[in-house]
Amino acid sequence: MHKIYFLKTCNTCSRIIKQLKLPESFIFQDIKENEITVNELDHMRELAGSYEALFSKRAKLYKEMGLKGLELSEEDIRDYILQHYTFLKRPVIIFGDSIFIGNSKAVIEQAHKALQGES
């Protein structure tokens, strides 16, 4: 499966999508319009190794809800991501059995190499 979870209104996501020139075989899922399902999130966790790897501590709600400094369990993190799309790091790119999470330069370079068959 080739899929990207992103926000249509996120300029960084749009820039990354253009930069990577994702093929038409990709499924594009705007997580605001089409919320992620339990199965989708669990599949991401299988590939990523943890829910924490998928969790955005930069989300506005993270601060507003006073979560900073709290010790959140994997189940807590899973519930927060399912509760509100902003808790999912963006973008999340699934390319076969590989997952690329977030917008750091290193992650995007790894995704680009995988897409070009250089992984």
Query: Residue 118 has what pLDDT?
Result: 56
Residue 23: count of CB within 10 angstroms of its CB: 8
* pLDDT tens string 58-98: 999 999 999 999 999 999 999 999 999 999 999 999 999 99
Q: Counting runs of H as helices and runs of E as strands, what totals does the chain give?
A: 5, 4
Superfamily of domain 2-115: Glutaredoxin (3.40.30.10)
pLDDT at 119 exceeding the cut of 70: no
Rg (CA), the chain: 14
pTM listed for this prediction: 0.93
Residue 26's φ and ψ, nearest 5 degrees, are: -75, 145
Query: Residue 1 has what pLDDT?
Result: 84
